[in-house]
Amino acid sequence: MATSQDVDYSVRDHTAWLTMNRPGVLNALSKGMFRGLELALASASSDPAVHSIVIRGEGRAFSAGLDVKEVSGFATQKEARDFVYRLVKPFWERFFECEKPILSLVDGPAYGAGAEIALASDIVIASTRSTFAFSGGRVGALCCISAGLGQFSMIGRKVVEMNLTGAALSAEEARLFGLVNYVEEPGGIENRVAKILDEMRHVSPTSNASFKRIHGSLITARILNVAYKELLRTITSPDFRTGATAFARKEPPEYYK
C-alpha cells in the first residue's frame, strides 16, 4: 500500500492491523489520517491473504475525533468542501464497501468520528478505561455517520441522546447499550481479539462477505449524501468557529446567548 505517517499498516496471521498513529493529539482524525485509513482499507480489502481487519489507536486513546484545530483552519469554503468530499467521503465509502470483518480494538477515549468508527465496525472490543462520546456537536461540528447508523443498531435511541447532549459513556455502559461487544481489562483485550479472529477462521469468507453486503445495503446513498452535506454545513458555520475557539481555550462554548 501507499505509506502514511498517520496510519501504520501491517499484516500478520491473515489479519490487517490498522493503527492510527498520532498519539500526541490522541489520534485526532486529520486530513492525513482520513487518507491513510482509506488507503489501508483499500489494501486490506484487495489483498487475498487478508481475511479480517483490526483498527486500533496508538497510545492512550483510540481517537479523539476530528482534528478540530486543522478543520477549523480552513481558509475557504472550497477547502472545507474538499475535506468532506475528497477525504471523509472516500474513507467512509471504502469502510462500508469492505466485505471483510472489521474489528475495532478500543483502549482509551473514542470520541466524535472515532466513536463513529467503532459504531460502524462489525465487532468492538474495549478496555475498561475506554469511553465513548458522539461529541461533535460540542464543538459545533457533527457526528454525521452516527445519525445514519444509529437506527440500525441495538444502541438506537442512545445514539440520538449521545449526539444531542455530547455526553460520554463508559465502556461497560456502551456494552449494555450495544455499542461494544466485549469489555476487558487493558491487558486482556488483545487476547479477546485473538479469540474472535480464531473463531472467524471457522466461517466461510464468502458467507461473511455476503452477510456484510446485506447488512451494508441498509446504509443508503441517500442517507450518506445527507450526512456529508450536513457535515459541510456545520464545519463552515459560525457555531463551529465558536466551538473551535472555545475548544482551543479549553472553555465551554456559549451557543445560546
**Cβ–Cβ < 8 Å for 91, 34:** yes
**Cell, residue 193:** 481479539
CB 184 within 8 A of CB 74: no
Predicted pLDDT of residue 148: 85
For residue 69, give the C-alpha cell: 484545530
For the chain, give the mean pLDDT. Answer: 94
- Residue 20 — very low, low, confident or very high, per pLDDT cuts 50/70/90? very high
Each domain of the chain, given as residue ranges in start order, spans: 7-200
Tens digit of each residue's pLDDT (9 = 90 or more) over 111-163:
999 999 999 999 999 999 999 999 999 999 999 999 888 665 567 889 999 99
C-alpha cell at 156: 438506537
Side chain identity, residue 95: F
Query: What value does the mean pLDDT take over residues 99-116?
Result: 98
Residue 237 has pLDDT above 70, yes or no: yes
Task: Give the C-alpha separation, 29 to 62, whole Å.
Answer: 11
pLDDT value of residue 152: 56
Question: In the beta sheet, which residues pair with residue 184?
Answer: 127
Q: Is residue 3 predicted with pLDDT exceeding 60?
A: no
Percent over 70 (pLDDT), the chain: 97
pLDDT at 75: 86
Residue 98 has pLDDT above 90, yes or no: yes
Neighbours of 221 (CB within 10 A): 8
- What does the DSSP 8-state code read for residue 131? E
Please state, in angstroms and rounded to a whole number, the distance separating the CA atoms of residues 137 and 139. Answer: 5
The pLDDT, as a whole number, for residue 4 is: 77
Alpha-carbon gap, residue 211 to 167, rounded angstroms:
33
The confidence score (pLDDT) of residue 151 equals 62
- Whether the pLDDT of residue 2 is over 70: the answer is no
In sequence order, the 6+-apart residues with CB closer than 8 A to the CB of 82 are: none
Architecture category of domain 7-200 in CATH: Alpha-Beta Complex (3.90)
Cβ-based neighbour number of residue 34 at 10 Å = 24
Contact 149, 158 (CB under 8 A): no
pLDDT tens profile 47-90: 999 999 999 999 999 999 999 999 998 989 999 999 999 999 99
